[in-house]
Amino acid sequence: MEKKNLILLLVCCLFGHVVYASDENSKLIGQKQASSWCIFQLTTPPEKMQAFLDSACGKIDCGPIKPGGVCFFPDVLPAHANYALNAIYHTLGTCDLQLGFVTTLDPSYGDCKYQGS
């Protein structure tokens, strides 16, 4: 299951704007409300990801993406930046569409659970 969720996250990143939520946080599918997440676009340059991550960690708890945290592995910039972008999305209620996009595919993997709406 962990590999399946990680593969879904990578596919989302590879294909960019695959799935959008229709409003700021979520949309209705039948009678059930779907959760949404905000993750980086694949085309976002690493320096913008790093600048965002540096700024975000002053506003949110970045403990989960620090060494020993449940979301530290994989220890790669896009994974850490995605976690932070999503945390900002759920804290402030906005996804910076210059950097990321809103998806209804859960990017969580293993013990690393991304906050969903």
pLDDT tens digits, residue range 4-46? Answer: 444 444 444 444 433 443 344 444 444 445 799 999 999 999 9
Which whole number is the average pLDDT over 102-106?
95
Segment 62-77 shows an average pLDDT of: 98
How does residue 55 score in pLDDT terms, banded at 50, 70 and 90?
very high
Burial of residue 13, with CB atoms counted within 10 A of its CB: 0-12 exposed, 13-18 middle, 19 or more buried: buried
Q: Per-domain residue ranges for the chain?
A: 2-103
Give the count of alpha carbons within 13 A of 81, CB side only: 23
Q: What is the pLDDT of residue 117?
A: 80
pTM: 0.73
Q: Compute the mean pLDDT over every residue in the chain, rounded to the nearest whole number.
A: 81
Angle (CA) 81-112-104 rounded to 5° is: 70
At 20 the pLDDT is 40
Token pair listed for 16: 């960019």
Mean pLDDT value of segment 59-66: 97
